[in-house]
Amino acid sequence: MKKIAVLTSGGDAPGMNAAVRSVVRYALSQGVEVLGIHRGYHGLLHGEIEVLNRRSVSDIIDRGGTFLKTARCLEFKHEEVRAQAYEILKEKGVEGLVVVGGDGSFMGAYLLSKFGISTVGIPGTIDNDLPYTDYTIGFDTALNTILDSVRKLRDTSSSHERVSIVEVMGRNCGDLALYSALAGGAEAVIVPEYPFNREELCQRILDSKKNNKLHSLVILAEGAGSAEELTKYIQEKIGLDTRATVLGHIQRGGIPTARDRVMASLMGKKAVDILLKNGVCAKVVGIKDNLVFDMDIEEALKIEKNFDKDLYDLVNKLV
């Protein structure tokens, strides 16, 4: 394989730049030319493609976001549109494509590979919502961003002896909520994967108040309810001063942590190795037990999430 391309797609995540940098520089070290596609599949269809050299990826390893930009491209769900994309890649001499993104982007890569081009997905999403892998790029940075905010909220909540409800990202996957609750010392965590009793929560908050705790912190994943609504409920039910904080898009930004940069660099290398060693394939790379591995995209997308009930119970035991 002499020429490959790389794009970022779907929601951005800190560490995507480190992954692209690794793909570009490792491929060049193996004598492979690399094209960068801007704005995901949308940019591919519109020919937003440039040659990347070592300097093209200078000074991006510590920058959040994605310098290639990202976009959603709904028409990519149509076969005839993917056929056009394949023709564009073929015309440019591209034999392999690396896609950094989430499950939607991987599905696009899998379907594109059916035309006869190799594709490899690198997991980039802050939610950690890809069950085939222990880890997705951006999760660690987002987690630390949440913890930084929680730390600041603790100061003001303690001074006013308030209850804080912090809503974090995670529509179907509560990992950001779960891990930030554990690392932030929350009274409770509410996730989409597990039922939750609001009356018990109120009782727990009252108990901790009785134990002279100055404030209570509850972490709520966005897919499990609304912070505003829960705040109103607690205030009306037990009369404690309660405030909602919705962290929103702040969680997507920031300097990627060392862990995200290291994982991104390792997975970028692996993606290139797969393209160089396999015939036409559709693979994903991921992390299992701290090691980089790969598997077929088709298999990876079938794997269902296994909720970590032990971790959930631990949060509740460490209150």
DSSP string, the chain: --EEEEEE-SS--TTHHHHHHHHHHHHHHTT-EEEEESSHHHHHHTT-EEEE-GGGGTT-TT--S-TT-----GGGGSHHHHHHHHHHHHHTT--EEEEEE-HHHHHHHHHHHTTS-EEEEEEB-TT---TTSS--BTHHHHHHHHHHHHHHHHHHHHHHT-EEEEEES-SS--HHHHHHHHHHT-SEEE-TTS---HHHHHHHHHHHHHTT-S-EEEEEEGGG--HHHHHHHHHHHH---EEEEE-GGGGG-SPPPHHHHHHHHHHHHHHHHHHHHSSS-EEEEEEETTEEEEEEHHHHHHPPP---HHHHHHHHHT-
Confirm or reject binding of residue 121 to ligand ADP (CB under 6 A).
no
Taking each helix axis from N to C end, the angle separating 139-160 and 258-277, rounded to the nearest 10 degrees, works out to 160
Confirm or reject binding of residue 174 to ligand ADP (CB under 6 A).
no
Q: Which of 76, 86, 135, 179 binds ligand ADP (CB under 6 A)?
A: 76
Q: Which of 14, 15, 101, 223 binds ligand ADP (CB under 6 A)?
A: 101
Confirm or reject binding of residue 302 to ligand ADP (CB under 6 A).
no
Confirm or reject binding of residue 81 to ligand ADP (CB under 6 A).
no
Give the footprint of ligand ADP on residues 190-209 (CB under 6 A): none
**Window of 19-27, 45-53, 74-82, 213-221 that interacts with ligand ADP by CB under 6 A:** 74-82
> Whose CB is nearest to ligand ADP?
104
**Window of 68-76, 148-156, 215-223, 287-295 that interacts with ligand ADP by CB under 6 A:** 68-76
Confirm or reject binding of residue 11 to ligand ADP (CB under 6 A).
yes
Give the footprint of ligand ADP on residues 28-67 (CB under 6 A): 41
Reported as half-sphere exposure (CB side, CA atoms, 13 A), residue 250 has a value of 15
**Window of 106-114, 144-152, 175-183, 229-237 that interacts with ligand ADP by CB under 6 A:** 106-114
Number of residues that bind ligand ADP (CB under 6 A): 18
Cα dihedral sign for 32, 33, 37, 41? Answer: negative
Cβ-based nearer residue to ligand ADP, 184 or 268: 268
Confirm or reject binding of residue 10 to ligand ADP (CB under 6 A).
yes
Confirm or reject binding of residue 108 to ligand ADP (CB under 6 A).
yes
Confirm or reject binding of residue 77 to ligand ADP (CB under 6 A).
yes
In whole angstroms, the minimum distance from the beta carbon of 223 to ligand ADP comes to 15
Q: What is the distance between the alpha carbons of residues 283 and 298, in angstroms, rounded to a whole number?
A: 8
Annotated catalytic residue: which of 12, 103, 127, 129? 127
Confirm or reject binding of residue 9 to ligand ADP (CB under 6 A).
yes
Give the footprint of ligand ADP on residues 132-151 (CB under 6 A): none
Cβ-based nearer residue to ligand ADP, 20 or 189: 20
Q: Which of 8, 66, 113, 125 binds ligand ADP (CB under 6 A)?
A: 125
Pairing status of strand 163-168 against strand 49-52: unpaired
Nearest to 19 by CA among 27, 301, 275: 27
308 is catalytic: no
Confirm or reject binding of residue 107 to ligand ADP (CB under 6 A).
yes
Cβ-based nearer residue to ligand ADP, 127 or 187: 127
Q: Just list the catalytic residues.
A: 127
Binding site for ligand ADP (CB under 6 A): 9-11, 41, 72-74, 76-77, 101-105, 107-108, 111, 125
